[in-house]
Amino acid sequence: MTKAFAGKICIVTGGCSGIGLAVGEALLKRGAVVYLADLSEHNVERTREKMKAQSNARCAVVDVTRQEEIAGLIRSAAAENGRLDYLFNNAGIGATMPFERVTLATWEKVININLWGVIYGIDAAFPIMEKQGFGHIVNTSSLAGVIAPPYQAVYCASKYAVTGLGEALRYELAHKGIAVTTICPGNVATPIFGDAAPPEDAILPEDAAEIILAGVEQKKGIVIFPRNMDTFVRRGQMHPEEIEQWMFQEAEIRRKAYADHGNYY
Ligand SMILES: NC(=O)c1ccc[n+]([C@@H]2O[C@H](COP(=O)([O-])OP(=O)(O)OC[C@H]3O[C@@H](n4cnc5c(N)ncnc54)[C@H](O)[C@@H]3O)[C@@H](O)[C@H]2O)c1
């Protein structure tokens, strides 16, 4: 097993269920110190019980839509350990419904958790990572953050935003030593499907966690799975490495423009 995560300080939001819990467990197996933060007290208690023999596991009730709660956790984890290596902004909810059923309350709830939760996490982690000169932000978007299935307009809006945010930041923050990875899973068999059975093609959260950590370790920009979706989504686009090169160059040009005369345009 890789030693890349041994001793690393990691925070995983939505860390007491599904993909977040599986990522947390895989990080613990690799020797990381892992803060598992989740809104659901029930999920936190169940996870705390499950992890009681794991001295590197810390469980906390945190609502990512409350800026002071998620920022408080991030700052105290960094202060306790002298650094923060990884922030996994993973907490999220699904929203699949005909558009006529979508209310403004639905929009607010989904955007608050899926997008503002990520923004608050980045806002608190960035100054810490910038000061220390390293760090890795990992945002869970979705396949619906790169392709847009019908009946998922609200979810897609939230997840496309997460993908765009992560991609832009990745190019901009690379020179500061901060990596950004966007995770775009297809179906994973987790409680996100509620009472409905997960789709037949859904993979296990443990398998998803292995794919995610392999991509994070390689500092990939976007991790799309399953593999056939990765091929499909990227088909017809520029070669990803050409885009990467272009964007890294563009980041350099813009960074210099801001440093030299305070603006780009
Ligand atoms: N399961 C899939 O098929 C799938 C596919 C693509 C993307 N995703 C994304 O993966 C992420 C994890 O989803 P999952 O499938 O593991 O779902 P899940 O429901 O098993 O886990 C999500 C966890 O997030 C927590 N959470 C919800 N709101 C929160 C809040 N305000 N603050 C803190 N925690 C909160 C929940 O309590 C839950 O424990 C989500 O962002 C989801 O959109 C999942």
For the segment 133-169, what is each residue's pLDDT rounded down to a tens digit? Answer: 999 999 999 999 998 888 899 999 999 999 999 999 9
Residue 50 three-state SS: helix
For the entire predicted model, the pTM comes to 0.94
List C-alpha distances in Å: 90 to 30, 52, 118, 135: 19, 23, 8, 16
Stretch 200-204: mean pLDDT: 94
The residues that are catalytic are: 155
Q: Does domain 9-234 have CATH number 3.40.50.720?
A: yes
Which of the listed residues 13, 192, 193, 195 should we mutate to test ligand 1's pocket, taking the one with most ligand atoms within 8 A of CB?
192
Condensed to tens digits (0 to 9), the pLDDT of residues 70-117 reads 999 999 999 999 999 999 999 999 999 989 899 999 999 999 999 999
What CA–CA distance (Å, rounded) separates 206 from 129?
A: 28
Cβ 188 under 6 angstroms from ligand 1: yes
pLDDT at 235 over 60: no
Q: Exposed (0-12), middle (13-18) or buried (19+): which is 71, by Cβ within 10 Å?
A: middle
Distance 92 CA to ligand 1 centre (A): 4
Distance 249 CA to ligand 1 centre (A): 35
Residue 203 three-state SS: strand
